[in-house]
Amino acid sequence: MESIVKKILALKNRRRAVILAHNYQRGEVQDIADFTGDSLGLSQQAARTDAEVIVFCGVHFMAETAAILCPNKVVLMPDAQAGCPMANMITAEDLRKKKEELPNARVVCYVNTTATVKAESDICCTSSNAQKIVASIPLEEEILFVPDKSLGAYVSSKIGRRMHLWPGYCPTHHRILAQDIKKRKEEWPRARVVVHPECTPDVIALADHVASTTGIAKHCRETSTKEIIVGTENGIIHRLKKESPEKTFIPATPQAVCPNMKKNTLEKLLWCLEDMEPHITVPESIASRARLAIERMLELSEEPSHAVKP
Ligand code: 13P
Ligand code: SF4
């Protein structure tokens, strides 16, 4: 392990690369990254880096977003097969058809979408800025929110805005059941419940705090409660324990593991720096349109979402 870490660090310097890791990555991948964060924080980090190479340890749409924002940089992924099943629940063709049915609707796409879907959308959002992005659309405008029905329903209820919701969802977050939270609350009656807005509405209704992964990390650092039930992908617990070693983090269920997020390993990270592939690219004809949707979001999200050095 130690030698592979040394090799990665040496090659990273030689390639003038930066390593970005999502909060759900394996612990050892988070530990070697220059920055760990949520989807917004990592896109902001990609947009501002002066590194020549970005190694994106996350899922495919995240690396695509970096490639769209940094057309002159090389964006690598340790495993290009790490996709997001929710992002695959809508295609550009599906969306074009829906837009014909709803010709006046503004399309807000969750960042968990392919570049081609972003290219068909008006504005992008992440779990940390979705309320702000939706609220920026004038009240008289109709909104089509794609593809996460759970995040869409949560935003809708928080800001009192009706939207057309695409029926997509995160299979990992939907494995967290209300009965799991209730059981954990019985076992840990003093614990606080923090969940991600990709969870189902009945799980969200039982939560004390709902936030993006970086928002969850911030809340866990700041709360005085020592026991916390975590309703999101369990990879985040590595970061939570590191940041607050005195607290106890209780996964809502052991089932909340995203197999795609775990596809990136230290070995594949080393190989991608050696081979300079898989290289993630987006054709400029698509990237130029998708970039508009992402840049509109970034303009409305001036506060950095704190991708951190682990
Ligand atoms: P955030 O890290 O932006 O909260 O997103 C979670 C997620 O689903 C990543 O796939
Ligand atoms: Fe997609 Fe859910 Fe995995 Fe995130 S946790 S990559 S939304 S399947």
Chain segment 231-271, per-residue pLDDT in tens: 999 999 999 999 999 999 999 999 999 999 999 999 999 99
The reply to whether 87-169 and 176-251 are identical in fold is yes
- 176-251 homologous superfamily: NadA-like (3.40.50.10800)
Q: Where are the domains of the chain?
A: 2-82+261-285+302-308, 87-169, 176-251
**Choice from 42, 170, 255 to test ligand 2 binding pocket (greatest atom count within 8 A of CB):** 170
Cis amide prior to 147 (ω within 30 degrees): yes
Q: Which atom of ligand 2 is nearest to the CA of 24?
A: 5
pTM score: 0.95
What value, to the nearest 5°, has the Cα angle with vertex 67 and ends 62 and 72? 155
Running DSSP on this structure, what letter comes out for residue 4? H
Q: Which atom of ligand 2 is nearest to the CA of 112?
A: 7
CA separation, residue 233 to residues 33, 158, 175, 192, 305 (Å) = 19, 23, 10, 17, 19
Given this model, what pLDDT does residue 1 score?
Answer: 66
CA dihedral sign, ordered 266, 267, 271, 277:
negative
C-alpha of residue 302 to centroid of ligand 1, in Å: 19
Domain 2-82+261-285+302-308 fold is: Rossmann fold (3.40.50)
The ligand minimizing its distance to the Cα of 169 is 2
Ligand 2 pocket, Cβ-based, cut-off 6 angstroms = 59, 84-86, 112, 170-173, 198, 233, 258, 260-261
The ligand minimizing its distance to the Cα of 38 is 1
Ligand 1 pocket, Cβ-based, cut-off 6 angstroms = 23, 38-40, 59, 84, 112, 126-127, 170, 196, 198, 212-213
CATH class of 87-169: alpha beta
Low-confidence spans in the chain with pLDDT less than 50? none
